[in-house]
């Protein structure tokens, strides 16, 4: 057993108006009030961050954002700065989600700039990595993960990355109902830890939390969490319903 504290994170993606987000967050706060020894985070859309912040303040639930831009301020229409997130009492920021890479042309370089901005503003980066179905079938999983980690974390020292969280999300398992088998997930998590160890040393590799994402549900979370290198989950669809998400939070090993 590791001494890494589990983290169950909910990525709400482009769902929920402000009032819907406030209602969901309010229900969730009550449902996970007794969840000790585990961290819980939700990432609502930008428009709902401020009102949801008021709801989760002082509760077991932390606030996360789904993205940011790396500049402090400026003429960047439609973008959100780190300071704007800090002002809503955000704690975590999801960076490099496969949907951002796929639809918005995020690259290793832009992911790297965003992580720099997150760390500089004392926020916690949740770096997403993962291979496509085609890449897995071509046996490129490890080379893809290796490249995404090295590009994303280029130029950082182990001291910079003390709070870093990594989320392994096989692209073929996101929103598809397909889940990596526990062995596939563990194998990828173990590999990611070995890449971190080679680049940043054993201490950091052992302390970093690596979450699994990809069709996580109440009925598969305990099995995933039993794996030695899986430290939590980044939950998509199942995080939109407070009852379902709270069941994932309250998993029993």
Q: Name the residues annotated as catalytic.
A: 97, 169
User: Which region holds residue 223: left if phi is over 0, alpha if psi is between -120 and 50, else beta?
Assistant: alpha
Residue that the structure tokens 């969490």 belong to: 225
DSSP structure string for 145-156: HHHHHHHHTTT-
Alpha helices in the chain (DSSP H): 18-31, 49-56, 82-87, 98-103, 108-120, 133-137, 141-152, 182-200, 202-207, 221-225, 242-249
DSSP string, 191-239: HHHHHHHHHH-HHHHHHSEEEEESS--TTTHHHHHTSTT--EEEESGGG
Phi, psi of 225 (to 5 degrees): -70, -15
């Amino acid at each position: 057993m590791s001494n890494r504290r589990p983290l169950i994170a909910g990525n709400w993606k482009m769902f929920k108006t402000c009032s819907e987000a406030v209602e969901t967050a309010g229900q969730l706060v009550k449902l996970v009030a007794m969840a000790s020894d585990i961290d819980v985070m939700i990432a609502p859309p930008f428009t709902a961050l401020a009102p949801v912040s008021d709801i989760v303040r002082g509760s077991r639930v932390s606030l996360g954002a789904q993205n940011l831009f790396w500049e402090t301020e400026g003429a960047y229409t439609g973008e959100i700065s780190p300071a704007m997130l800090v002002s809503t009492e955000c704690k975590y920021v999801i960076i490099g989600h496969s949907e951002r890479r796929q639809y918005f042309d995020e690259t290793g370089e832009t992911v790297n700039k965003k992580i720099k901005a997150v760390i500089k503003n004392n926020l916690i980066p949740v770096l997403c990595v993962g291979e496509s179905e085609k890449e897995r079938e071509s046996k490129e999983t490890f080379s893809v993960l290796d490249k995404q980690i090295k590009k994303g974390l280029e130029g950082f020292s182990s001291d910079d990355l003390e709070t870093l969280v990594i989320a392994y999300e096989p692209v073929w398992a996101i929103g598809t109902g397909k889940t990596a088998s526990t062995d596939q997930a563990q194998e990828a998590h173990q590999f990611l830890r070995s890449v971190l160890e080679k680049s940043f040393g054993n201490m950091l590799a052992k302390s970093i939390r690596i979450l699994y994402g990809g069709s996580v549900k109440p009925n598969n979370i305990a099995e995933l969490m039993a794996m030695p290198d899986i430290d939590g989950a980044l939950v998509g669809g199942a995080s939109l319903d407070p009852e379902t998400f709270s069941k994932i939070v309250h998993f029993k090993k």
